[in-house]
Amino acid sequence: MNPTNLWPIPPTTLIPRELTEKSATLKKRLSDIAARYVDVRFATSLAAEDMVITDAISKSKTKIALFTLATGRLHQETVDMTKATENHYGVVIAKAYPEEVDVQGFVDQYGMNGFYDGVEAKKACCGARKIKPLNAALLGADAWLTGQRREQSTTRVELNFEEHDDARGIAKFNPLFDWTEADVWAYIKQENVPIHPLHLKGYPSIGCEPCTRQVKKGEDIRAGRWWWLQSDSKECGLHINK
């Protein structure tokens, strides 16, 4: 794909005062969450939104633990970004790995790349590599955070700052729920936040390597995720609240 036709990192549009206010609000949200709950955990994918939250956690010195879903099918750039983030912020990002028996069960039934065959196979793969590891990573937590935003997709337009995760029986927060894509990148530029290298190659949203592709200019920013499925199927199940 011609690089000039790919999604570009959006330009900064916020004036400094507006961004300062947004940054202060984000840090207050994080501090308030940490004050309300004893054990708060943040699931980071190392993509732009999650790097903003990581930066805000670090700079506000908020007691929130970080973890990532090490699915076994990530881009090498994502694996490298995990280590780079740990080094940059002086933090430890726990790795939530899938169980070998679950992965093998999927492969035996569908084949290694069977998720391309349809929604049910995709759900089965995400279940083994993402949902079960997430459940394990959240055992004992009182609350968890995500980098979801309302603007990201049609399935998130009614997203709230605070939810109750009925599936896991804990509180769930989306600190960037009301941020725009431009807000995210303005923060990254101003605060010198490390950038995932795939963002520089036309990937606005980053997941597992075989299920993520580059996005063209003008396409929906989640168009590169599970591109072979209909738009209403473009969630992995991590955020289904039931």
Over residues 150-163, the pLDDT tens digits come to 988 777 788 999 99
Which of 126, 208, 211, 236 is labelled catalytic?
236
Closest CA to 171 of 142, 148, 139, 150: 142
Q: Residue 123 phi/psi, 5° resolution?
A: -60, -40
Helix (H, G, I), strand (E, B) or coil at 115: helix
Torsion angle, CA of 138/139/140/144, rounded to 10 degrees?
10
Q: Residue 73 phi/psi, 5° resolution?
A: -125, 25
Rounded to whole angstroms, the Cα distance separating 60 from 162 reads 20
Give the model confidence (pLDDT) of 12-52 as tens digits: 878 889 999 999 999 999 999 999 999 999 999 999 999 99
| pTM, rounded to two decimals | 0.93
Answer yes or no: 208 catalytic.
no
Rounded to whole angstroms, the Cα distance separating 127 from 95 reads 17
In words, the CATH class of domain 14-201 is: alpha beta
In the chain, what are the domain boundaries?
14-201
